[in-house]
Amino acid sequence: MKRSMMKELIKYISSYFDKKGAHDMTHTKRVLKVALQIAKSEKNVDEQIIIASCLLHDVARKKEDEDKCECHAEEGARIAPRILRRIKFPENKIQSVVYAIKVHRKSKDIKPKTIEAKILQDADRVDLLGAIGITKTIIRHSKNNDAVIHSPYAKKLNSHKDYKTESIFNVIKIRLKIPLNTFNTLRGKKIALERFHFLKSFIKQFEKEWA
């Protein structure tokens, strides 16, 4: 993709994102960076499709957060062609971008079939891990006023209001249960593994300090 087209796309979609918080546009830019790294290790990847898919994958995230649509992947796939046609993106590649956006959400348990969709899903998921993943979780859950950690007292009672919410630490800890073999690409697995290591040492240190 030409630099000018990419710049135009970034400029065009910036209004679709929150200016700050866990779902601001920096996530999208990080996903693109990681996806391009993964793409280097894969064969027959269309870079234009990767760039457009990454930049547009969460274009409807804000809408979902505001309860204006049910699934941001579906909604993003629906609005992407209009945006792509506006920047004169090659018509014959639009459907591949739409497909990658539609299946990017691993929580929907869809196995992507194209290499570009596989790469996007991996790049999106590694952003949940490592230092960035921890930071995003803290930002998101602080907004809901969730407890940092469930106290043993709350755990014992199980009915304590503190225990009814997710604890921030628990959400971070659960990330360790993501199976490495659910990443689609070898490079994606490698990046995830490095971030799992950091997550593990963070959890260990946190528990030591909290005890």
Computed on alpha carbons and rounded to an integer, the radius of gyration of the chain in Å comes to 19
Stretch that binds Fe ion, among 111-119, 120-128, 155-163, 170-178 (CB under 5 A): 120-128
Number of residues interacting with Fe ion: please give it, by CB under 5 A. 2
Return the number of the residue (58 or 75) whose C-beta is nearest Fe ion: 58
- The smaller minimum CB distance to Fe ion, of residues 46 and 122, is found at 122
Helix, strand, coil tally for the chain in percent (to 5): 70, 0, 30
- Using CA atoms, how far apart are residues 107 and 115, in angstroms rounded to an integer? 19
- Judged by CB, which is closer to Fe ion: 58, or 116? 58
Site string for Fe ion, 158-197 (x = CB under 5 A): ----------------------------------------
The tokens of 141 are what? 């859950």
Among 64, 116, 122, 124, binds Fe ion (CB under 5 A): 124
169-173 contacts: CB < 8 A, separation 24 or more? Answer: 169/206, 169/210, 171/137, 171/141, 172/133, 172/134, 172/137, 172/199, 172/202, 172/203, 173/203
Q: Distance between CA atoms of 9 and 11, rounded to whole angstroms?
A: 5
User: x/- contact string, 38-77, with Fe ion (CB under 5 A)?
Assistant: --------------------x-------------------
Q: Which residues bind Fe ion (CB under 5 A)?
A: 58, 124
